[in-house]
Amino acid sequence: MPTRRFEATDDGALDALYADVAEKNLQPLWELSGLLTPTPTVRAVPYRWRGKDLRDLGERAGELVPVGRGGDRRVLSLSNPGLGGAPYATSTLWGAVQYLGAGETAPAHRHTPAALRFVLEGEGVWTQVDDDPLHMAAGDLILTPSWTWHEHHNPGATPMTWFDALDLPLVEALDAVFFEPGAGRTAEPATPGRSLSEPSTPGRSLSERHFGGGPGLLPGGATTPAPAHSPLLRYRWTDTDRALNGQLHDSASGAARCGHAHVRFADPTNGRDVMPTMRCEMHRYLPGHTAPEERRTGSALIAVFHGTGAVVLDGVRYDVAPGDLIAVPSWTSQRVVADQRLDLFAVSDAPVLEALALHRTEQIPATTDVL
Ligand code: GTQ
Ligand code: FE2
């Protein structure tokens, strides 16, 4: 009220009000700015971590730092320079590379933040999710949904690194992080057929045998209450690759029908996203193809699987090569340029934005001034 302000200036009443308001842990909104901004104020910045650095540093950590007890992980987290030193890739997503040496085990634990792995190269590690051992090979997507027990074993002779994504910053913001170490639980799998270091470990996980039987084939019989996440826990690269090629190429001539194909990894029982907080997609761009520029609410991480090209974020061009990881903060304009056939894995918080009706996208008209 302007009149009051003038009166108060004279007799000090306004100053007294402000002091009393502060003393009672209140704040006058009329003195605050930067809250209800016309567009999102995004602290995370667009950023690219180079695959070469991630591989080298993971390897060095593998030589120097043992995998500890209590559910520890040898993980290098992506720390977005805009987030003030937090170990977070964006405001909602944790991204990391994990390194597991030959013969090593990352012991069992569980936590409410959901996790997923995308394998950028190599194979041979088994991730056990609850009681289901899942083999990890290049291009595979592996889910460890909220509160599932998980442990990683590398019975092979070569070390392996992969990309991890978790919804940890989001769950932390909601004050809903719980963690439980699996001490005493892990040990050797009791059933002979389940031994993770034995060749008798099943080639297909239980989840794949039930829910990955083939296109459109689900287990018959009694239906159990649907969990909040996909019951299929491993999405194999051969299936993803076939789906992308099916979209891109004419089956008879093999000629390309378009320059961009993408698939969304879905819960096979209902088509929803693999987990309530994260959407996973695989994109394939053919050489020369330039995707239109757009921006959206919610953040994403991109992992470069194959090929070279560039990801243009807010007009700045980031050249990309296999193993590179890229943070795409909310409302950042994004465009992809393929020099060679480019395969990009993307994980985002889109299901959260959609569930809360906060998702927005905007197409940005083409310009020629790319930096
Ligand atoms: O592999 O269980 O990158 O618990 C961060 C936390 C990986 C894991 C991470 C984890 C894990
Ligand atoms: Fe974990």
Per residue in 33-78, pLDDT tens?
A: 999 999 999 999 999 999 999 999 999 999 999 886 545 899 999 9
Strand partners, 260: 285
The whole-model pTM stands at 0.92
SS3 68: coil
To test the pocket of ligand 1, the residue of 49, 54, 74, 75 to mutate (highest count of ligand atoms within 8 Å of its CB) is 75
In this prediction, residues 112-134 reach a mean pLDDT of 95
Is the confidence at residue 1, as pLDDT, over 60? no
Is the confidence at residue 211, as pLDDT, over 90? yes
In this prediction, residues 125-134 reach a mean pLDDT of 94
Ligand 1 proximal residues by C-beta, below 6 Å = 73, 75, 96, 98, 115, 150, 164, 166
Per residue in 219-270, pLDDT tens?
A: 988 667 778 999 999 999 999 999 999 999 887 788 887 899 999 999 999 9
Residue 209 C-alpha to ligand 1 middle, in angstroms? 26
Ordered alpha helix ranges (H), 216-262: 237-248
Nearest listed ligand to the Cα of residue 75: 1
Split at pLDDT 50, 70, 90, the class of 194 is very low
Nearest CA to ligand 1 atom 10: 73
Predicted local distance difference test score (pLDDT) of residue 8: 54
Residues 6+ apart with CB under 8 A from 86: 79, 80, 169
Nearest listed ligand to the Cα of residue 148: 2
Split at pLDDT 50, 70, 90, the class of 288 is confident
Chain Cα centroid distance, residue 62 = 23
- The chain-wide mean pLDDT, for the chain, equals 90
Split at pLDDT 50, 70, 90, the class of 190 is very low
| Ligand 1 atom, smallest distance to 165 CA | 3
Residue 363 C-alpha to ligand 2 middle, in angstroms? 37
Q: Which top CATH class is 47-179+233-363?
A: mainly beta
Q: Edge to edge, what strands does the sheet with 150-153 contain?
A: 132-137, 123-129, 150-153, 105-111, 179-181
Cβ atoms within 10 Å, residue 274: 25
Chain Cα centroid distance, residue 177 = 17
Cα 10 to Cα 2, 3, 15, 21, distances in angstroms: 13, 11, 10, 19
CA-to-CA distance for 258 and 249, rounded, in angstroms? 8
Residue 87 C-alpha to ligand 1 middle, in angstroms? 13
Residues 6+ apart with CB under 8 A from 162: 97, 98, 117, 118, 119, 120, 125, 136
Segments making up each domain of the chain, as ranges: 47-179+233-363
Residue 73 C-alpha to ligand 1 middle, in angstroms? 6
Residue 127 C-alpha to ligand 2 middle, in angstroms? 11
To test the pocket of ligand 1, the residue of 164, 179, 301 to mutate (highest count of ligand atoms within 8 Å of its CB) is 164
CA-to-CA distance for 50 and 339, rounded, in angstroms? 17
Q: Which residue has the higher pLDDT, 71 or 102?
A: 102
Residue 53 C-alpha to ligand 2 middle, in angstroms? 23
Q: Which residue has the higher pLDDT, 50 or 368?
A: 50
Split at pLDDT 50, 70, 90, the class of 200 is very low
Predicted local distance difference test score (pLDDT) of residue 181: 92
Burial 286-320 (b: 16+ CB within 10 A, else e): beebbbebebbbbbbbbbbbbbbbbbbbbeeebeb
Predicted local distance difference test score (pLDDT) of residue 367: 66
Nearest CA to ligand 1 atom 1: 73
Split at pLDDT 50, 70, 90, the class of 184 is low
CA-to-CA distance for 162 and 126, rounded, in angstroms? 12
Nearest listed ligand to the Cα of residue 169: 1
To test the pocket of ligand 1, the residue of 73, 93, 120, 179 to mutate (highest count of ligand atoms within 8 Å of its CB) is 73
Q: Please name which of 146, 138, 136 lies closest in space to residue 171, comparing C-alpha atoms.
A: 146
CA-to-CA distance for 206 and 225, rounded, in angstroms? 18
Is the confidence at residue 193, as pLDDT, over 50? no
Residue 110 C-alpha to ligand 2 middle, in angstroms? 6
Nearest CA to ligand 1 atom 7: 164
Split at pLDDT 50, 70, 90, the class of 2 is very low
Predicted local distance difference test score (pLDDT) of residue 71: 56
